[in-house]
Amino acid sequence: MACNQAFAEYAHKTQEEIVGLTDYDIFDAETAAHFVEDRERFIKAFDKDNMLNTIKKHGTFIIQ
């Protein structure tokens, strides 16, 4: 994992300490699962194929 300074401060670690760790290395299992689920929702929401399906359905956006 890589991060910005704000996340490092939130995790009470330096950016260098966080590089290469997973959410589960940094946080307790419940908190880590929350971050993983949020990231998966974000990735799915901005997945190009998902966006193209949305465009086909609504016809209002153009992605190049």
- Can you give the three-state secondary structure of the chain, one letter per residue? CCCCHHHHHHHCCCHHHHCCCCHHHHCCHHHHHHHHHHHHHHHHHCCHHHHHHHHHHHCCCCCC
pLDDT tens, per residue, the chain with 64 residues: 678 899 999 999 999 999 889 999 999 999 999 988 988 888 777 766 666 665 555 555 444 4
Domain boundaries, given as residue ranges, for the chain? 5-57
